[in-house]
Amino acid sequence: MKKVGIVANTAKEKAGDYTQRLRTWCLERGLEVYLDKGIAEAIGAGPGYDRKQLAAMVDIIAVFGGDGTMLRTARAVREFNVPIVGINLGAFGYLTEVNLNEMIDAFEIFRQQGFLTEKRMMLDVTVESEGTVVKKRTVLNDAVINRGNLSRIVEMETEVDGKYLNTFKADGLIVSTPTGSTAYSLSAGGPIVFPQHDSIIINPICPHTLTNRPVILPGEAAIRVIIWSKEQGATVTLDGQVFHTLKSGDVMTIRRSHYVTMLVASPHRDYLEILRSKLGWGGLPAGLNRAV
C-alpha cells in the first residue's frame, strides 16, 4: 500500500477533520494521498480528482461516510477493481466496516501486513421502453420496482432464464445481490445471504398473494420483468439512489455484472460480529470462552 485515495461525504459532520487526520498520518509515513474533488475543496487541499481518476491512481480507497457513500463510490470505480475500505461516519452502515476509533490502527495494519479483500457481485440492470433502452446501470445492492404514488398494486410478469416464474401482484419487487440482502430486502422480509455467495434474491414487497415468498436464484440467472399497470407512476430505484419512472409494458432485465466491488475486510471483526452489532443481536452467552 503506497498510494491512498480518500472519498468523503462532505455533508457528514467532521468528515473534513477525519480526512485531514488520515491524510496527515499517511503523508508522515511516506504514503501518497489523493483526494476526491468534494473533500479536497472542503478542506482546502487543491482541486482533487473525480472518482474514476482516483481509482486509476491508487492502491486503496478510504471512504468516509455511510452505506450511501460506499454505494456511489462502488458504482463509480467499478471498472478498476480497486479495494475500498469504508470508515463509518453514519449510525448504521453494513458496508462501512471500520469505526472511527479504529481508523489509524486499521491503516497501520494495512501498511505493515497488507489487507484482505472480499469480492462482492454486482448486477447489470437495463430498462427498455417500447423496444428502446432508456436506462442502464450497474448496482451493488439492488434494483427495486415500486408502485410509487399509484393507488393500486402493480403486476410484474417475471421470467428466469427465459422461463416464466410468476406474475407478482404487489406493491413492488426487489431484486438484490447478497450484499443488498441486508438493505431494503431485509426490511421486506427477505433472507440474510452471506455476501460471498453467488446468488440473486427476488423479493416481492407486500404481495397480494401471501404465498409469494422470496426466492434465491443462482448468480448466473437472467431475470426479465415486465411491468403492467393501469396507472402511471411506478418507479425503479437502483441502489436507492438512481430513479426512473416506468410505464406499463416497460421491461427490466437484471443479470450478474462482470464488474465486482472489492471491499477491504475489517482487521478487527468478522462478518458475523458485524451482523450481530448492526442488527442488535445478543452477544455470547455469559461464561462462553471465545477461544473454544
User: Does residue 47 sit in helix, strand or coil?
Assistant: coil
Helix pair 103-113, 15-28: axis angle to 10 deg: 30
Amino acid present at 127: V
Grid coordinates in use for 249?
409494458
User: Does residue 193 sit in helix, strand or coil?
Assistant: coil
Residue 67 a catalytic site member: yes
User: Does residue 76 sit in helix, strand or coil?
Assistant: helix
User: All domains of the chain, ordered by start, with CATH?
Assistant: 3-116+265-279 (3.40.50.10330), 122-260 (2.60.200.30)
100 class by beta-carbon count within 10 Å (0-12 exposed, 13-18 middle, 19+ buried): middle
Residue 75 Ramachandran class (φ > 0 left, ψ -120 to 50 alpha, else beta): alpha
The single residue of 67, 171, 239, 250 carrying the catalytic annotation is 67
Residue 260's beta-bridge partner residues? 121
Which pLDDT tens digits describe the chain residue by residue (292 residues)?
Answer: 899 999 999 999 899 999 999 999 999 999 999 999 999 999 999 899 999 999 999 999 999 999 999 999 999 999 999 999 999 997 667 899 899 999 999 999 999 999 999 999 999 999 999 999 999 999 999 999 999 777 788 999 999 999 999 999 999 999 999 999 999 999 999 999 999 999 999 999 999 998 999 999 999 999 999 999 888 889 999 999 999 999 999 999 999 999 999 999 999 988 888 888 888 887 666 555 554 4
